Structure 1
Amino acid sequence: MTERIEIPAQASFDPTSLRPLGWNDHFDRELAAMNPGPGRVARVISVQRGLFLVSDGGREWLCSPAGRLLHGATGDYPVTGDWVLADDVVATAIIPRKNLLSRGEAGARGTQAKTAHRAQPIAANLDTVFIVCGLDRDFNLRRLERYMTLVHNCGLSPVVVLTKADLHRDPEEFRLEAESIAFGVPVALTSLPDGAGVNELGRYLAPGRTVAMLGSSGAGKSTLANMLHGSDIRATSEVSKSVGKGRHTTTTRELIRMPQGGMLMDNPGIREIAFHEDGQGADSAFADILELSAECRFADCSHDLEPGCAVRRAVEAGELDPARLESYHKMKRELRYLSDRRTKGASRAEKERWQGLALMRKDLNRRR
């Protein structure tokens, strides 16, 4: 039942009760710059069919969005993890975000005409993103590369979490495979029977910290949340015998207060990882290719057919997986197209893409 809150005449909050929810000096400064009117500062714990479950650290209650939030731009609508001002039982304003984890709209991947102009916000004001991958049929290095590119594009820090380690006699092989593509990104192995990985991941959930989990349906996110919490806080299901993967159980995004002191957000499974804006995510996710490119003969080398390409040389020498280079090319093309489409329009971007390919071939012939 919705609880009515008595709201003071000006924005009020108790930093002591808000800090365990993730409040920090950044939001102090943002709130002061807003010069807010009446309202209570609260964090959005979950979004439920046009209502927000919010908390001020001492109590939780339901809010509906004010008209300017409901009818404003997509980026102005609160998402899980946002800090808001709540006037009575109405959320009236969003305190400017520290960051936003988002992806391209569903159905956009693979269709350049649709490649993601609409963002689908997932969560706001995060410190870390757990990329959760089950060591069953869910394990896929190319998918991990896309997840890391997405997270880096949003300016966030990923951690790769490999669940269901107990399914294999030597799960370390999977960790080594993941580490071979996750340069500078921690990789953790977890197992429910022996609690492996709990201490390693627990440090990311220190007081005042917020972590979101991303992964496919059945990757083991809810089981991981239960293991980290030490109790059954999320519904789980058994592994399907027909496909050898876990079943989808999470349907909402909700921030959960963890015994380590921080906040953890489970997330419904993601079927496709589409981008919605250009960024430096690919360079961060493919740091090995970026490092090799410094030795290429041409500064603008595309690592395709140019002579003196150090990246292609590494592929030929067996030092770089050709599938990884192809994955890099694919994501760079997607991100370039998004950037061009955003600034030039779809038809012009497509025309210039083909003109660019023709010019590139002429340039390669000239350089030979």
Structure 2
Amino acid sequence: MNIQNYGWNSRLEEQWSNVDHTDHVPGRIIADFGQKVRMITASGEIWGACSGRLRSELINRGTGLAVGDWIQVQLLPNEDKGIIHGVLPRQTCISRQSAGVSTVEEQIIAANVDILFLVSALNDDYNVRRMERYLIMAWNSGVSPVILLSKSDLCENVKLKVAEMELAAPGVPVHAVSASNDLGKSLLDAYIKPGVTLALVGSSGCGKSTIVNWLSGSNIQHTQGVREDDSRGRHTTTHRELFLLPQGGVMVDTPGMRELRLYEDEGGLALAFADIECIGKRCRFADCKHEGEVGCAIEESIRTGELDQKRVLNYRKTQKELAFQARKEARSHARVTGSKSKERERSQVRNKWKKDIEID
């Protein structure tokens, strides 16, 4: 098995030479099933799990393993298994806020991805405002986003939809494709090269698994139809998995997202709404909140039609959401830090008490 096909390169080789890898071999996580992962090494595919020490380190750092991670693996003799002892530094990390939790927790979708296909079907799934949120996630992760408008055979005004999406995503490639009618495949093949890792994200039923099968030329992913009344699909993909493509390169398919809760902002908001940020610099006052103040360039741009009001409203909403989450995370961190400080104080008192007893 040649792990170069899965993206191993000279940069990773240099990282590998700088870690203690005695009795370990490099590998990559290609599927995540919760407690266990599937990984690829030069010996082939095997099952793996973290060592106790690595598991404790990951818990302390508030993170975990992810599909796409490059890892240090101890192969177990005569077994189709291995123990993971370390993770090489990630070049990119796609994540969102975990759903259904009261605190701000990161859920990693995939690691070490080069190009992220943001998929939206040209049926009732089509939503420009949601795509703006996907773009923030992409820019925050450090990957290069590409927007795919799938199921173009179901749309009568494809050019209009592409133009609309291009306005909402300045500088980001937008491609309309149809796997069922084999339209636009050559456009996507241009991104698939040896050593390149791609990933697909989108809502349930948008056609991600169908695209994986289409690009691979085989049915490597199970697919299902969507409900005709609302164009929604079920979670065909139930776990994250990485597939080797015949053109070279690998692709990560992910479960559909019913909602995208952004984890934190590392400049993605400014990049996704670069046009608004640029116009905002023309406001009369530096601290303008763009909500009706005198001399607000953004309000003026809405009046003249230079900016779409719905886009500006989404910008404001997302800006407030990220600010709220940052405050919530800061409060959570303060509580944890305070608890640790109190525990240290109690520990110091206990140690002093023990010493006093010993002296007596």
TM range (shorter): 0.7 to 0.9
Structure 1 distance, partners of 2:190, 2:264, is 31
1:187 aligns with 2:174: yes
Equivalent in the alignment of 2:100: 107
Question: CA offset at residue 129 of structure 1?
Answer: 0.8
Hey, what does 1:280 align to over in structure 2?
267
Contact residue 63 and residue 106 of structure 2 kept, 8 A: no
**Change in 2 beyond 3 A, CA 1:308/1:257:** same
Query: 1:58 Cα deviation (Å)?
Result: 5.0
Determine if contact 1:76/1:94 at 8 Å carries over to the other structure: no
Aligned residue number for residue 28 of structure 2:
43
CA separation in 2, counterparts of 1:246 and 1:341? 33
Q: What pairs up with 1:5-16 in 2 under 5 angstroms? A: none
The gaps in structure 1 that reach 5 residues or longer are: 1-13, 109-113, 349-368
Q: 1:28: which partner in 2?
A: 13
Match of 1:249 in 2: 236
CA displacement at 1:218 relative to structure 2: 0.4
Quickly say closer, same or farther: Cα 1:262–1:57, change in 2 above 3 A: farther
Residue of structure 1 in register with 2:45 after alignment: 60
1:344 positional shift: 5.4
- Distance of 1:270 and 1:316 partners within structure 2: 35
Deviation at 1:19, TM superposition (A): 2.0
Counterpart of 1:119 in structure 2 is 106
Larger CA Rg, structure 1 vs 2: 2
Partner of 2:202: 215
Q: Match for residue 149 of structure 2?
A: 162
The code of the aligned residue for 2:88 comes to I
Q: Is the 8 A contact 2:205 2:225 kept in 1?
A: no
Looking at structure 2, the residues matched to 259 and 222 of structure 1 have their Cα atoms a distance apart, in angstroms, of 16
Q: Report the CA distance between 1:342 and its aligned residue.
A: 3.6
In structure 2, the CA distance between the partners of 1:300 and 1:52, relative to structure 1 (3 Å rule), is: same
* 2:299 match: 312
Report how many aligned residue pairs link the two structures.
327
Partner of 1:300: 287
Evaluate the alpha carbon distance shift between residue 242 and residue 306 of structure 1 in structure 2; reply closer, same or farther with a 3 A threshold: closer
Partner of 2:351: none
Residue matched to 2:55:
70
Q: CA deviation at 1:182?
A: 0.7
The DSSP-based 3-state class of the residue aligned with 2:117 is strand
For residues 136-168 of structure 1, the C-alpha deviation after alignment (integer angstroms, 9 at most, x for no partner) is 111011100111111111222211100000002
What's the TM-score, normalizing by structure 1?
0.84
Shift in Å, 1:249: 0.8
Q: 2:217 aligns with which of 230, 238, 246?
A: 230
Contact 2:125 2:231 in 1 (8 A): no
1:95-147 CA-partner distances (Å, limit 9, x unpaired): 11112111001136xxxxx4x52100111101011111011111011100111
Answering whether residue 73 of structure 2 is matched by residue 80 of structure 1, we say: no
Partner of residue 226 from structure 2, selected from 220, 226, 239: 239
Amino acid at match of 2:190: R
Q: Is residue 20–residue 57 contact of structure 1 (8 Å, CA) maintained in 2?
A: no
